[in-house]
Structure 1
Amino acid sequence: MRRLYHQTLSPFCRKIRLVLAEKGIEVELREEKPWERRMDFLRLNPAGQVPVLQMDDLTLADSGAIFEFLEETQPDPPLLPKDPAARAEARRLAAWFDDKFQREVTANLLYERVNKKLAKSGYPESERIKAGLKNIRYHLDYIGWLMDHRRWLAGNQMTIADFAAAAHLSCLDYVGDVDWSRNAGVQDWYAKIKSRPAFRSILADLVPGFTPPAHYADLDF
């Protein structure tokens, strides 16, 4: 049994879905609503967070730990470079998006506008939304700077850093919060990674009550 418990607009889940698809690992997707605190799900992961990956008799939680397991057990194609310094840079940037970008952008935009509505946990806070819209400009500029100097975010090879960044941006793009016209290099990078076969199932995602913009699934946007 190979099953991924996930939430459609969770960047951490999307990152793992991209990794699984890139490595050609087929899994059953099981939609989970973490705010419901289902006892059966809590038995799998007492933290009550997605993603959770079941691989036969093994249950794995936390997107970082899941990625490292998959990279070690299914190394082809590699999503970490061979060079130790390049590996460190890929991990640094993956952590940048899963920590700094998450706190400054994703939590302020996606969680306020979407997750609160889905979980029926209150109304969006306008100040947090304003902060998220301000912060995303800084992060887009940083991605643009990286792409001025590199082929991919962490260097000449596509790595987990690209999937981590694309996972966050794809969630925000679903709700129309990414200004792709701000930096041509960022748009070109996202178009390149968005065109990969691993992205197909993500671009087909639909969340009840939320309609993505017309360009969301367009590979030539």
Structure 2
Amino acid sequence: MAIVAKRTIMSLFSDIDDVYSHQVRIVLAEKGVNVEILPVKEDDPGADLLSINPYGTVPTLIDRELVLYEARIIMEYLDERFPHPPLLPVYPVARAETRKMMHRIEQDWYYLMNAILKDESAEQARANLFESLTSLDPVFADKHYFLSDEFSLLDCALAPLLWRLPKLGLDISPTFKGINSYMQRVFKRESFQTSLTDAERQIRAA
């Protein structure tokens, strides 16, 4: 644990094109946190990461003596550690609903994304993801952000996946105005732009 003792500022082990690392980087940018980004490839984590995280996974956050891994745990910790701007609702029921939807995003959409990335010929997963996203076009149109008029952890969880749609071989037609307008709003947000690595920018490079 020597690496923990040496850190004087918050540090994040992050893969430059890992979708879960991207989620955390959005939260950090939204909160304006001064953080040291430690680039690492998840398939080659290195001794420093393995010394503090037995799974060698990214993202991994170091905050003083605290070490956290798994994106959702890190995101919720950051929201509590840095309460402004809040990224979860105030009331318990609304917070629970947000957490439930984050779980659904992970279980439904991220599951399909991972299936596509593991097998580029996974046409059924690609079709299912397209259908699932576009079927919610009215939901995307209903609020300024996803299920809320305020930017939240839901958006931090969802935006990295939507940014990677070209990489997944998916093109959302302009006829789906709700989801396209939502993506434009989120992608233009300062925290989202700040969160992008050069590798991620290339995904949607003109």
Contact 1:10 1:171 in 2 (8 A): no
CA pair 204-81 structure 1, distance change in 2 beyond 3 A: same
Question: 2:192 maps to which residue?
Answer: 199
Deviations 1:23-74 (A, max 9, x none): 0102121111121243331222112211001112221111111112111111
Contact (CA 8 Å) 2:13, 2:59: kept in 1 or not? yes
Give the length in aligned residue pairs.
197
Q: Secondary structure at the match of 1:36?
A: coil
Query: Match for residue 102 of structure 1?
Result: 110
Equivalent residue, structure 2, for 1:180 = 172
2:150 pairs, out of 148, 157, 162, with 157
State the distance in 2 between where 1:28 and 1:37 align.
Answer: 17
Q: Which residue is 2:70 aligned to? A: 62
Separation of aligned partners in 2, 1:143 and 1:72: 30
* Structure 1 partner of 2:203: 212
Instruction: Give TM-score, length-normalised by structure 2.
Output: 0.85
Cα contact 1:89–1:154 (8 A) shared by 2: no
Checking the alignment, whether the CA contact within 8 Å between 1:52 and 1:60 is kept in structure 2 is: yes
Matching residue within 123, 133, 139 for 2:132: 139
Unpaired segments ≥5 residues, structure 2? 1-8
* Contact 1:7/1:31 (8 A) holds in 2: yes
SS of the equivalent of 1:60 reads strand
1:52 aligns with 2:60: yes
Deviation of the 1:186 alpha carbon: 0.3
| Matching residue's letter, 2:81 | T
1:180 counterpart SS class: coil
TM-score by length of 1: 0.79
Q: Residue 39 of structure 1 aligns with which residue?
A: 47
70 and 16 in structure 1: CA distance in 2 versus 1, 3 angstrom threshold? same
Superposition deviation, residue 75 in structure 1: 0.8
What do the CA deviations read for 1:88-114 (whole angstroms, capped 9, x no partner)? 22212222222221111x2023x33xx
Aligned counterpart, 2:28: 20
Q: For 2:62, what is the secondary structure of its paired residue?
A: strand
Structure 1: gaps spanning 5 or more residues: 113-123, 216-221
Q: Give 3-state SS (helix, strand or coil) of 2:16's partner.
A: coil
Q: Residue deviations 1:156-213, cap 9 Å, x none?
A: 322111111101112334x263323251110101111111111123445226xx9534
Query: For residues 85 and 146 of structure 1, do their structure 2 counterparts lie closer, same or farther at Cα, with a shift above 3 Å needed?
Result: farther
Distance 1:176 1:74, change over 3 A: same
Partners of 2:180 and 2:154 in 1: CA distance: 16
